[in-house]
């Protein structure tokens, strides 16, 4: 009898109201939020299969307005006649209209919604609606991921990073997208003290150094004594260790082209000077750099 009572308690205190059939779900894959005249405008990108034969999912963007995010989601649910399902949210698009108060409300919305995760990508775009219409959400995700991996010229910022940096009162770096004929990555937006600041793609590399978030990237230097000749380096790996008063950076560098016939020490110096120069703009700590250089150079 005791066993049965324990089993019943176990069962009934846990709740069992999460039952939902798949076809009653409106799967929101991307969400765009902007604020215009004290009103939130939300762009919800849903993915769905139109029929059993379709091989590719159809994407539809719904636009809803309201004064609070929860109210908008409820309205969206009524409009679609389905349960709004945010667990597979892949992308959150924001623009410069989202500042302190709005950002806090967005963070609270996601923290209080137990069905959402915080591992989706957050990006900044000048035109949310056009971005959602132009490109599939997964493609945007891949674009940021690939750029980060191959060039280190962007940061893959998730909602978790946004929340963490917001509460730590640190800069929030959000990858920026520029939409014209095609979608291109346009550096970062740095959000700090209720302001957005543009960071160019080339400078993102050094922010990644500062955050110990470097993958791989390529760098070229013009030869000091020859025109149209370059030193071309591939930085395979970069590791940053931040101490109290010092930043240690270790790089694995491969020399791809050495038209200038620089020696190993010269290459080391050129690279270090450049890196120190850039990092000094981000931190006042002492910077020590150690490089392992492979490839073609004069001994």
3-state secondary structure at position 34: strand
Q: Is 47 in the site for other proteins (CB under 8 A)?
A: yes
Among the listed residues 4, 16, 168, 181, the single contact to other proteins using CB under 8 A:
16
The tokens describing 266, both together, are 């010269």
- Pattern of binders to other proteins over 240-279, x per CB under 8 A? ----------------------------------------
**Rounded to the nearest whole angstrom, what is the least distance from the CB of residue 128 to other proteins in the complex?**
21
**Rounded to the nearest whole angstrom, what is the least distance from the CB of residue 194 to other proteins in the complex?**
34
Q: Where are the beta strands (DSSP E) in 67-216?
A: 83-85, 91-94, 121-125, 172-179, 183-192, 195-199
Among the listed residues 40, 69, 90, 235, the single contact to other proteins using CB under 8 A:
90
Among the listed residues 35, 61, 70, 88, the single contact to other proteins using CB under 8 A:
88
Q: Is 54 in the site for other proteins (CB under 8 A)?
A: yes
Quick one: 37 or 51, whose CB is closer to other proteins? Answer: 51
**Burial class of 243 by CB neighbour count within 10 A (0 to 12, 13 to 18, 19+):** exposed
Q: Is 1 in the site for other proteins (CB under 8 A)?
A: no
Reference 105, options 165, 33, 176, 168; nearest CA is 33
In sequence order, the 6+-apart residues with CB closer than 8 A to the CB of 34 are 40, 41, 94, 95, 97, 98, 128
Among the listed residues 39, 67, 68, 87, the single contact to other proteins using CB under 8 A:
87
Among the listed residues 85, 110, 196, 209, the single contact to other proteins using CB under 8 A:
85
With tokens 């109201």, the residue in question is 17
The tokens describing 41, both together, are 């405008």
Q: Cβ distance 199 to 188 under 8 Å?
A: yes
Q: Candidates 43-51, 125-133, 160-168, 180-188: pick the segment binding other proteins (CB under 8 A).
A: 43-51
Secondary structure of 84-108 in HEC code, one letter for each residue: EECCCCCEEEECCCCCHHHHHHHHH
Among the listed residues 23, 38, 194, 228, the single contact to other proteins using CB under 8 A:
23
Q: Is 2 in the site for other proteins (CB under 8 A)?
A: no
User: Considering Cα of 198, then 202, then 208, then 214, what sign does the dihedral take?
Assistant: positive
Among the listed residues 6, 9, 36, 49, the single contact to other proteins using CB under 8 A:
49
Q: Cβ distance 263 to 298 under 8 Å?
A: yes
**Rounded to the nearest whole angstrom, what is the least distance from the CB of residue 41 to other proteins in the complex?**
25
**Rounded to the nearest whole angstrom, what is the least distance from the CB of residue 29 to other proteins in the complex?**
7
Among the listed residues 2, 5, 21, 181, the single contact to other proteins using CB under 8 A:
21
**Rounded to the nearest whole angstrom, what is the least distance from the CB of residue 91 to other proteins in the complex?**
12
Q: Is 81 in the site for other proteins (CB under 8 A)?
A: no
């Amino acid at each position: 009898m005791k066993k049965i009572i324990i089993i019943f308690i176990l069962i009934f205190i846990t709740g069992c109201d999460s039952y939902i059939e798949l076809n009653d779900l409106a799967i929101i894959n991307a969400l765009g939020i902007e604020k215009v005249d004290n009103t939130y405008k939300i762009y919800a990108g849903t993915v769905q299969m139109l029929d059993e034969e379709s091989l590719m999912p159809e994407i539809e963007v719904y636009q809803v307005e309201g004064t609070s995010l929860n109210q908008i989601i409820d309205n969206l649910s009524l409009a679609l006649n389905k349960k709004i399902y945010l667990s597979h949210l892949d992308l959150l698009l924001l623009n410069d209209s989202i500042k302190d108060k709005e950002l806090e409300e967005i963070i609270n919305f996601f923290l209080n919604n137990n069905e959402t995760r915080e591992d989706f990508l957050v990006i900044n775009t000048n035109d949310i609606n056009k971005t959602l219409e132009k490109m599939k959400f997964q493609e945007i995700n891949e674009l940021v991921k690939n750029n980060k991996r191959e060039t280190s010229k962007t940061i893959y910022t998730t909602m978790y990073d946004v929340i963490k940096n917001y509460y730590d009162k640190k800069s929030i770096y959000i990858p920026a997208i520029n939409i014209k004929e095609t979608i291109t990555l346009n550096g970062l937006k740095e959000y700090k003290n209720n302001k957005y600041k543009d960071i160019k793609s080339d400078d993102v590399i050094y922010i990644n150094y500062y955050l110990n978030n470097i993958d791989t990237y390529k760098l070229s230097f013009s030869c000091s004594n020859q025109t149209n000749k370059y030193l071309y380096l591939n930085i395979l790996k970069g590791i940053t260790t931040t101490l109290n008063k010092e930043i240690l950076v270790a790089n694995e560098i491969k020399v791809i082209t050495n038209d200038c016939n620089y020696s190993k020490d010269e290459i080391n110096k050129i690279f270090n000077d450049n890196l120190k120069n850039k990092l000094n703009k981000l931190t006042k700590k002492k910077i020590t750099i150690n490089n392992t250089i492979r490839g073609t150079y004069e001994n």
